[in-house]
Amino acid sequence: MTTATLRQVLAKLYRAHRHWKTPAVSKISETTRDPFRILISCMLSLRTKDEVTDVASAKLFALAKAPRAMARLPVARIAKTIYPVGFYRTKARHVREVCRQLLTRYRGRVPSTIEELVTLPGVGRKTANLVVTLGFQRLGICVDTHVHRISNRWGYVRTRAPDETEFALRKKLPTRYWIDYNELLVRFGRTICHPTSPWCSRCPVERWCPRIGVTRHR
């Protein structure tokens, strides 16, 4: 798929995505641009269903809305509050340590660069890019499994892992799409372009898709 074709595809997805469910962290960013809440919510969302992330984030922020207050919470209480998010005990330790480091290294503020964010415990490039784009409205490309899978399924990139996909997209994807690309493809991937047996018969961009790697579809 060429960049010219991709522009047509994304134009279609822009029109269709409003009818598809909003990802949990995007939903939080619609109510607050607070980078801290976006950071913590994204950490909780990893390998966790959106419905669980929504509830866990709300319960945790009801206890503490800023790094200093959250750093005072015992790890056990954070774990109990965010349960049943995936790996909740590990995430509880990471959340508390992130808050501690924000206080000691950044005067309680969330850093605004990917390079700084990935030095925090439990924060990878996916989370860092999401914080930069949603929390600071700065350029970044958040690549999760949906973005990685679909970008390769379209043949726009040919990569083996999400981090490779991010850097390939940074070289090829026009910057005007960087911030929105993740949410568009997450909504599309959850609703239509499933990992196995995608709904090609319902797909608004089916005529442009080469279906690379697709062995079964509906």
Residues carrying an active site annotation = 126, 144
The token duo for 147 is 């973005």
17 burial via Cβ count (<10 Å: 0-12, 13-18, 19+): buried
CB of 129 closer than 8 Å to CB of 114:
yes
Cβ atoms 127, 46 nearer than 8 A = yes
Residue linked to tokens 């109510």? 31
Helix segments in the chain, DSSP class H? 3-16, 24-31, 35-45, 50-63, 67-71, 75-82, 88-106, 114-117, 125-130, 136, 145-153, 162-172, 178-191
CA–CA gap between residue 51 and residue 49 (Å, rounded)? 5
Question: Are 99 and 71 contacting, i.e. CB atoms less than 8 angstroms apart?
Answer: yes
What residue type is 124 in one-letter code? Answer: G
